[in-house]
Amino acid sequence: MMPMVELLPSILSADFARLADEVAAAERGGGTVIHVDVMDGHFVPNITLGPPVVKSLRKATTLPLDCHLMIENPDEYIPAFAEAGANWVSVHYEACRHLHRSLELIAHHGMKPGVVLNPATRVNLLTDILPMVHHVLVMSVNPGFGGQQFIPFSLDKIRRLVELRKELGLGFRIEVDGGVAHDTIAAIVQAGADLLVAGNAVFGGGHPERDVRALLMTAREAAGEPVQ
């Protein structure tokens, strides 16, 4: 059985002064996991937020918090994210000298480990550690900013992950992040992704509830799931 598709609103494009309201609106629209982009100004050319904001978000919603760490030396910060209330934590293949150790550390702190691939990083590099992960996050833009264009060859990477999951008899989820929007979401779902992160398409137009609902409807149709 394929997992049901889920929409993960990315707060990167939300109004940070009204974060609780923005998250609540996205949740009313059907968002089921909140995607939190952590950037350090080193691994990516932008700076966002850290454990204190995660701690506040934890009080604002009961939804799982999916923390996407775009930072150098993630191991140093994993305990602080656990303490702050993160549920899922993903680290970049490109940022981890000892990826196996980083994934173990995340699991050891009671969180669901994920691994992230930049657009230029090959899926096959992950084969040996796939049994350890709850999700693989395919970056479909170069990380650092919201509102960028979806990179089309990301669809091949999603299809390759679906194949690998089958070959290896595993159950990890396939998450896609970057340029997920009304005109790309159907192809992304048809390629086999089930966790759909969207920032600009959710918060950019000022109607997060309506836009989450519309994105989900298109995604469910593409997946052949019931559209309520």
Catalytic residues: 37, 177
Question: How far apart are CB 135 and Zn ion at their closest, in Å?
Answer: 12
Which two three-digit tokens encode residue 102? 């980083």
200 binds, among ligand DX5, Zn ion, none (CB under 5 to 8 A by kind): ligand DX5
Are 143 and 70 in contact by the 8 Å Cβ rule? The answer is yes
Question: How far apart are CB 37 and Zn ion at their closest, in Å?
Answer: 4
Question: How far apart are CB 114 and ligand DX5 at their closest, in Å?
Answer: 12
Are 87 and 66 in contact by the 8 Å Cβ rule? The answer is yes
Q: What is the 3-state secondary structure (H, E, C) of 45-106?
A: CCECCCHHHHHHHHHHCCCCEEEEEECCCHHHCHHHHHHHCCCEEEEEHHHCCCHHHHHHHH
Question: How far apart are CB 226 and ligand DX5 at their closest, in Å?
Answer: 25
Task: Order the strands of the 88-92 sheet from edge to edge.
Answer: 6-9, 195-198, 173-177, 135-139, 112-117, 88-92, 65-70, 34-39
Are 203 and 31 in contact by the 8 Å Cβ rule? The answer is no
Of the pair 22, 177, the CB lying nearest Zn ion is at 177
Contacting residues toward ligand DX5, per CB under 6 A: 10, 12-13, 35, 37, 68, 141, 143-144, 146-148, 177-180, 197-201
Kindly report the length of the chain.
228
Report the residue from 6, 22, 37, 211 that binds Zn ion according to the rule CB under 5 A: 37
147 binds, among ligand DX5, Zn ion, none (CB under 5 to 8 A by kind): ligand DX5
Stretch of 40-48, 49-57, 68-76, 216-224 contacting Zn ion, by CB under 5 A = 68-76
Report the residue from 6, 49, 68, 200 that binds Zn ion according to the rule CB under 5 A: 68
Stretch of 33-41, 73-81, 125-133, 216-224 contacting Zn ion, by CB under 5 A = 33-41
Q: List interacting residues with Zn ion (CB under 5 A).
A: 37, 68, 177
